Amino acid sequence: MTKRKFGLALSMVLAASTILAACGTDKEETKTGNGGETEKNDFSVAMVTDIGGVDDKSFNQSAWKGLQDFGADNGLEKGDDGIDYLQSKSDADYNTNLNKLVRREFDLVFGIGFLMEAAITEIATQQKDAQLAIIDAVVDQPNVASVLFKEQEGAYLAGVSAALMTKSKKIGFVGGMEIPVIERFEAGFLEGVKAVDPSIKVDVQYTGAFDKAELGKTTANRMYSSGVDIIFHAAGGTGNGVFAEAKELKTKDPDAYVWVIGVDSDQYEEGAVGDTNVTLTSMLKRVDVAVQNLSKLAMDGKFPGGETTVYGLAEEGVALADSRGAIPEDVLAQIDEYAKKIADGDVVVPETVE
């Protein structure tokens, strides 16, 4: 079937990237030689993951993909003079890792995730010449660029899709930590379900972690055992356990009606079970595009320090991934209608649970 983003072709984001690419720069311009190879640009950028790790198949991995794509576009390889990352095993690593990258003289350093707010604030006040950026939080410092997303808008569409596809009228939401960004996911998801059918029951559970797949699996087991047939997770690496449980159930009973809605990245591959798949769709959060765009601005000498950029449905920063046929065309058409209402401002999705 034709690849869909439910009314969001991401053309605006890509067009913005094209416009930025046309801007002048105080740095050395990237050039293409006769052999078509991209010469290295005189710019370097790195990121620090939160505790989910760079291979969480979700949030951090999307950010690293953004840096890799930026590197490929500008001839930058992994290392001190190009792109790099440091993984955090605990919150105690945040300050240390940020300091390491600043001292390695990267031109721009990202802190990935709300949990990095305090560390970014501290480093920004200590290293006033450093250019820093944070995803999912606002740090009011002149040398920090902040990026937020309207997760509630994308989660609303996830809720609509779940409500239209459930057979049991029992749906689950598995969150990581109870922090504002995840609460926006919850609020939007609940509103989307309610918009379709207020009688549907939604079981909301927080695991308290983004890196505990075993907690995601046991939580999903309880939900599916209670009759829940679709679970939306916003739990980073913990959500991998939700997929594991759904795949286990599907393996035992190929006719089992169990689904998972992925988050941040397209998690279709995570749901593969032989010739079938338990991924209904995924709520895309274009961290990769935001990282690329901000890196390009910084490279062009236009680093937006002290500013906050917000990506929502209208800005094509959130969307639903292609369902690969799991969602029928008539249901997709209904989801498109809800997406248009949000993008047009006819529906305002709350950020907190009402």
Q: Quick one: how many helices (H) and strands (E) in the chain?
A: 10, 14
Whole-number pLDDT of residue 229? 98
CB 83, CB 67: distance < 8 Å: yes
Q: Cα separation of 301 and 204, whole Å? A: 45
40 confidence band (pLDDT: 50, 70, 90): low
Query: Cα(289)–Cα(310) distance, rounded to whole angstroms?
Result: 12
C-alpha distances in angstroms, 87 versus 61, 65, 270?
11, 15, 22
What does the buried/exposed string (b/e) look like for 222-249 if buried means 16 or more CB atoms within 10 Å of the residue's CB?
Answer: ebbeeebbbbbbbbbbbbbbbbbbbbbb
The per-residue pLDDT for range 305-335, each reduced to its tens digit, is 999 999 999 888 999 999 999 999 999 999 9
Q: Which helix (H) or strand (E) holds 112?
A: strand 108-112
Residues 6+ apart with CB under 8 A from 211: 51, 52, 53, 56, 236, 237, 238
Quick one: which H or E segment has residue 135?
strand 132-135
Pair of tokens at residue 85: 């990352």
Average pLDDT over residues 276-281: 98
What's the token pair of residue 206? Answer: 């927080």
Of the pLDDT bands very low, low, confident and very high (cuts 50, 70, 90), residue 41 is confident
**Residue 331: helix, strand or coil by DSSP?**
helix
List, in order, residues 6 or more apart from 75 with CB less than 8 Å away: 30, 37, 38, 39, 40, 41
Q: Is the per-residue pLDDT at 158 higher than 60?
A: yes
Distance CA 300, CA 85 (A): 21
Q: How many other C-beta atoms are found inside a 10 Å radius of the C-beta of residue 89?
A: 11
Contact between 335 and 6 (Cβ < 8 Å): yes
The gap from C-alpha 107 to its chain's centroid, in whole angstroms, comes to 24
321-333 as b/e: b if 16+ CB within 10 A: bbbbebbeeeebe
Nearest-angstrom CA–CA distance, 25 and 311: 25
Residue 136: pLDDT over 90: yes
Q: What's the whole-number mean pLDDT along residues 43-60?
A: 90
Cα 185–Cα 162–Cα 260 angle in degrees, nearest 5: 80
Domains of the chain in sequence order? 11-21+43-150+286-311 (3.40.50.2300), 152-284+319-343 (3.40.50.2300)
The C-alpha atoms of residue 260 and residue 230 are separated, in whole angstroms, by: 6
- Average pLDDT score over the chain: 90
Share of the chain above pLDDT 90, in %: 84
Pairing of strands 308-311, 259-264: unpaired
Average pLDDT over residues 262-291: 96
